[in-house]
Structure 1
């Protein structure tokens, strides 16, 4: 029988004032960090039109809310804030943040985004060298509304894709694997390391499954606004999903959202100047 701690959806978090790496992981400071991005995206979507900036995760979550009878425009951002506030409440940690950490979090998230951009470039070069594999050129910039979508849309993708795949789906799959695997692989508390192996497999399985779903969700098979399937982009998006999931587990929701959003911003800027 495994211990309660091993069945927790995510590693425990404790508020430690003066310790940036612990403070910046918390759900409350994550909410403060993503709130400006949420505001920019929702205002941009309102000004540009309901279909101008929406990403797949945003559309799916809103359609799900409408299906269960909750269709108010602002309900999804309120739900995002509510989940983070409820998560913080369950930690029983102090309701306090240090505002000066938000700038450092932005720099950290930007650093992770640049690292991912480098991985994308290297993977692109590897696929370009492979015979029979062509990488589609970036889409040309169009109207001013499309330009606004390129610059504002990344904030929505960062928030709502991380909300769906990391904050909601990853813990759900992790708990299912933690509960289900022992039914097929009996553990013995007297055997040291056996439960750690189960936990490692559970985390690895949840990370891989959510990353594959995250990648697949960008294509036309799942959404009419998706891309045509391409091996390079599918491979990179799967790796990016693993990257964001590891950030979520190790650095918290805010850093994962920031890294995702800033990566998309950097890509959009490169399209503009390229």
Structure 2
């Protein structure tokens, strides 16, 4: 019997013809799902709300995160000084990232407690590294985002939530992709460009805490600089492997743990 052309052709694979966001027919595992921008956004929203609400309620006593101040000053120079514009832009960036990747608009609420636990574990591991490095170098353990004096007041904890979100927003979510594209423009492979971007962003992150870089920063100190550089590399690695939400959560958890340790 003669076979038609349609019968002779191989069956279409729906995974080869569907857009990226429509390829998934099976639920994603925890590690994949929680690295996506939408889940990251839902996870960090409570921290964002605590920080912005806390700053408003504390008024003049509030400790505003330095990166938050820089970003608001930059927006103000552009004539965009509305108070809630920065958190709205943060949310918009994550939504746009999710849209551009064509990911499905869904997430599992049951992943959120696990993300909190993962952030706590990573924060504890970073704290252990900080104490080990401090013992070797005879230095004081510092928060990755705080000045030399760390206290346990509510205003300091509120500031740490802001640090987790806005420092990861600037130094990881915004800076690393821009650096990767820039470095690839010099014909470097993407892998090398990624590692270089992580290192450069970590150097900028560490330097941003000192008075040679910003007014009112800490006096330059080689020991604390080395730790903050190490912390920046760790946060960059977490961002690359686990996404924005876990990077912001582990950053905030580490700073809070330092305050209470």
Structure 2: distance between partners of 1:87 and 1:49: 33
Do structure 1's residue 245 and structure 2's residue 255 form an aligned pair?
A: no
Normalised by the length of structure 2, the TM-score is 0.85
Structure 1: distance between partners of 2:28 and 2:169: 28
Structure 2: distance between partners of 1:151 and 1:222: 24
In the other structure, the counterpart of 2:211 is 220
In the other structure, the counterpart of 2:34 is 24
What are the superposed Cα offsets for residues 199-236 of structure 1, whole Å, 9 maximum, x if unpaired? Answer: 33211110110000000001122333321211111100
Contact map agreement 2:150 2:259 (CA 8 A) in 1: no
In the other structure, the counterpart of 2:173 is 167
Contact map agreement 2:202 2:229 (CA 8 A) in 1: yes
Structure 2: distance between partners of 1:136 and 1:118: 10
Q: Structure 1 runs of 4+ off > 4 angstroms?
A: 12-16, 134-138
In the other structure, the counterpart of 1:178 is 184
Structure 2: distance between partners of 1:250 and 1:39: 26
Normalised by the length of structure 1, the TM-score is 0.81
SS of 1:93's partner is: coil
In the other structure, the counterpart of 1:152 is 158
Contact map agreement 1:56 1:225 (CA 8 A) in 2: no
5 Å-filtered alignment, 1:74-223, equals 74-128=84-138, 135=140, 139=149, 141=151, 147-182=153-188, 198-223=189-214
Structure 2: distance between partners of 1:47 and 1:231: 37
